[in-house]
């Protein structure tokens, strides 16, 4: 913990300045979450970013003229989805995506994808890291922007030409030409790429994409003691505890390569074995349709959306299968769907998953057979409401058995401490039925700490005396 905060010191001044700039804006000393949709202009964006902003909110850029980037990445929800549905409907209102919508905040400092990326902690050996999307397949924010525009389950345009025509016939065609040249529309590929660079400029310039205005910022960067409540402070200590929760082992809070701190990610890829989001979960409100096919597996780094690490022959183990990017945890408390497949729906559920994935797999994965005796009730936060004693559990059911060696067994899930410990490295999972590493109180404290990462914190609104995160 101290290590992490010490590393933050050089940044404190710059960030305080950024916070001050924000607080100055609304004139009465409150940190505000800038909202590019409705709030008054807080900063002057470059002409390119202004075009990007118009494009980001432009529903004409979808086949049904009903969906913009902001429909899924809503500025009111930290540029994440405005609902708790696991995966969102596309512009054609029939098909859904196969992955949860990430927040677009704090993406500007993501390094380029590399299979041999250094770890910001300076200790852990190099591993796959960086890049955009849950599987890092987009190399830049500009390249990424082209993907949803042409994805049939998202904005569903039939071609680059259709997108470029929509811009050309739209309200900001003149501005587009001013920024990218009078003849930009003559070349479809160039115009399509220009649109991506405009959106990237918005995402990197606009302070509403990286406001650093959370309670956590006030506490860590401004060194204002007493900002966190005792419960939040206990949660913070746990978050950094290498022998218990070990969260910052992956959700790294120190300075990243480009100097940005407190992003709660080391940009690496890990296989946590999130349960399959399908109809094997009783009363599942929104199973992923693609999962109706028992042969379909979303394996992150090794496909299906990126193809460069697919196993050479199907059925051959590949160490990257099941790995997804460690997400930024800022604003995570504003989300309603968690993990790449959106299978969990509360932070309490997420932290309990880490804690009991190995000790009580029957809480998370379906039974393989009947077992014996009467069903027993599982905790309220479990995905499986009941289990039958003696029934074998289909652990890690969102990965084919041959790929399950990638599953991470670091604390708090398994018994491995320090550095990557996967099943393939010989580490044993925590024994079923053994005691989980965290107590219910510790889980509650961690959830309280995660709540301090939401931007737009108003210091003047004192915590209510009865709140569960106070004591």
The single residue among 72, 198, 321, 383 that binds ligand HEC, judged by CB under 6 A, is 72
The single residue among 185, 216, 320, 339 that binds ligand HEC, judged by CB under 6 A, is 339
Where does this chain touch ligand HEC (CB under 6 A) — which range of 23-31, 149-157, 278-286, 461-469? 149-157
What is the signed CA dihedral for 70, 74, 78, 84, rounded to 10 degrees? -130
- Taking CB under 6 A as the rule, does residue 333 contact ligand HEC? no
d(CA 42, CA 19): 12
Class of residue 360 by CB neighbours under 10 A (exposed 0-12, middle 13-18, buried 19+):
buried
Closest CA to 418 of 409, 407, 406: 409
Which residue pairs, CB below 8 angstroms and at least 24 apart, start in 371-377?
A: none
- Taking CB under 6 A as the rule, does residue 412 contact ligand HEC? yes
Closest CA to 426 of 409, 441, 403: 409
Site for ligand HEC in 188-217 (CB under 6 A): 199
Site for ligand HEC in 106-125 (CB under 6 A): 107
- Taking CB under 6 A as the rule, does residue 395 contact ligand HEC? no
d(CA 445, CA 441): 6
The single residue among 77, 106, 132, 309 that binds ligand HEC, judged by CB under 6 A, is 132
- Taking CB under 6 A as the rule, does residue 134 contact ligand HEC? yes
The residues facing 106 across adjacent strands are none
- Taking CB under 6 A as the rule, does residue 262 contact ligand HEC? no
To the nearest whole angstrom, how small is the minimum distance from the Cβ of residue 24 to ligand HEC? 29
To the nearest whole angstrom, how small is the minimum distance from the Cβ of residue 79 to ligand HEC? 8
Count residues near ligand HEC (CB under 6 A). Answer: 52
Site for ligand HEC in 90-109 (CB under 6 A): 90, 97, 99, 101-102, 104, 107
Closest CA to 115 of 136, 132, 134: 136
- Taking CB under 6 A as the rule, does residue 67 contact ligand HEC? yes
d(CA 386, CA 449): 30
The single residue among 113, 192, 324, 353 that binds ligand HEC, judged by CB under 6 A, is 324
Where does this chain touch ligand HEC (CB under 6 A) — which range of 133-141, 289-297, 313-321, 357-365? 133-141
The nearer residue to ligand HEC, 1 or 388, going by C-beta atoms, is 1
Q: For residue 263, what are its two tokens?
A: 């992003």
- Taking CB under 6 A as the rule, does residue 247 contact ligand HEC? yes
To the nearest whole angstrom, how small is the minimum distance from the Cβ of residue 390 to ligand HEC? 29
Closest CA to 168 of 185, 187, 186: 185
The single residue among 163, 198, 250, 321 that binds ligand HEC, judged by CB under 6 A, is 250
To the nearest whole angstrom, how small is the minimum distance from the Cβ of residue 309 to ligand HEC? 15
Contacts of 324 (CB under 8 A, 6+ apart): 134, 135, 269, 270, 271, 272, 300, 301, 339, 340
- Taking CB under 6 A as the rule, does residue 410 contact ligand HEC? yes
What does the binding site for ligand HEC look like in residue numbers (CB under 6 A)?
Answer: 67, 69, 71-73, 88, 90, 97, 99, 101-102, 104, 107, 132-135, 141, 144-145, 148-149, 154-155, 199, 245-247, 249-251, 270, 272, 274, 305, 324, 326-327, 329, 332, 335, 338-340, 347, 350-351, 354, 408, 410, 412, 446
């Amino acid at each position: 913990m101290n290590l992490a905060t010490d590393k933050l010191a050089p940044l404190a001044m710059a960030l305080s300045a950024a916070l001050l700039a924000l607080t100055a804006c609304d004139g009465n000393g409150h940190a505000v979450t800038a909202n590019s949709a409705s709030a008054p202009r807080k900063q002057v964006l470059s002409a390119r970013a202004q075009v990007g902003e118009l494009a980001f909110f432009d529903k004409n850029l979808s086949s049904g003229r009903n969906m913009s980037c902001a429909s899924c990445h809503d500025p009111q929800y930290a540029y994440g989805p405005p609902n708790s549905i696991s995966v969102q409907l596309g512009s054609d209102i029939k098909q859904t995506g196969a992955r949860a919508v990430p927040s677009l905040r704090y993406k500007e400092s993501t390094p380029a994808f590399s299979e041999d990326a250094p770890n910001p902690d300076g200790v852990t050996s190099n591993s796959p890291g960086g890049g955009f999307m849950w599987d890092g397949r987009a190399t830049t924010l500009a390249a990424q922007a082209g993907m949803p525009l042409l994805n049939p389950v998202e904005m569903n345009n039939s071609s680059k030409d259709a997108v470029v025509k929509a811009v050309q016939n739209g309200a900001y065609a003149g501005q587009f030409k001013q920024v990218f040249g009078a003849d930009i529309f003559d070349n479809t590929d160039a115009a399509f790429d220009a649109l991506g660079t405009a959106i990237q400029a918005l995402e990197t310039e606009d302070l509403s994409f990286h406001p650093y205005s959370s309670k956590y910022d006030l506490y860590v960067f401004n060194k204002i003691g007493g900002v966190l409540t005792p419960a939040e402070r206990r949660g913070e200590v746990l978050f950094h505890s290498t022998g218990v929760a070990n969260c910052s082992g992956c959700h790294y809070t120190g300075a990243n390569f480009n100097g940005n701190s407190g992003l709660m990610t080391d940009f690496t890829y890990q296989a946590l074995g999130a349960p399959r989001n399908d109809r094997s979960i009783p009363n599942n409100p929104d199973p992923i349709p693609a999962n109706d096919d028992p042969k379909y597996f979303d394996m992150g780094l090794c496909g299906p959306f990126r193809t460069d690490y697919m196993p050479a022959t199907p059925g051959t183990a590949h160490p990257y299968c099941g790995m997804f990017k460690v997400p930024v945890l800022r604003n995570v408390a504003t989300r309603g769907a968690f993990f790449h497949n959106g299978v969990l729906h509360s932070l309490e559920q997420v932290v309990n998953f880490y804690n009991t994935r190995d000790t009580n797999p029957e809480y998370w994965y379906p039974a393989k057979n009947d077992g014996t005796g009467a069903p027993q009730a599982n905790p309220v936060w479990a995905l499986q409401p009941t289990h039958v004693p003696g029934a074998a559990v289909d652990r890690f059911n969102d990965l084919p058995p041959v790929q399950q060696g990638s599953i991470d067994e670091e604390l708090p899930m398994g018994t491995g401490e320090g550095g990557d410990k996967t099943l393939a490295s010989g580490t044993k999972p925590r024994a079923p039925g053994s005691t989980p590493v965290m107590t219910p109180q510790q889980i509650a404290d961690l959830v309280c700490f995660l709540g301090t990462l939401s931007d737009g914190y108003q210091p003047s609104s004192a915590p209510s005396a009865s709140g569960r995160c106070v004591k």
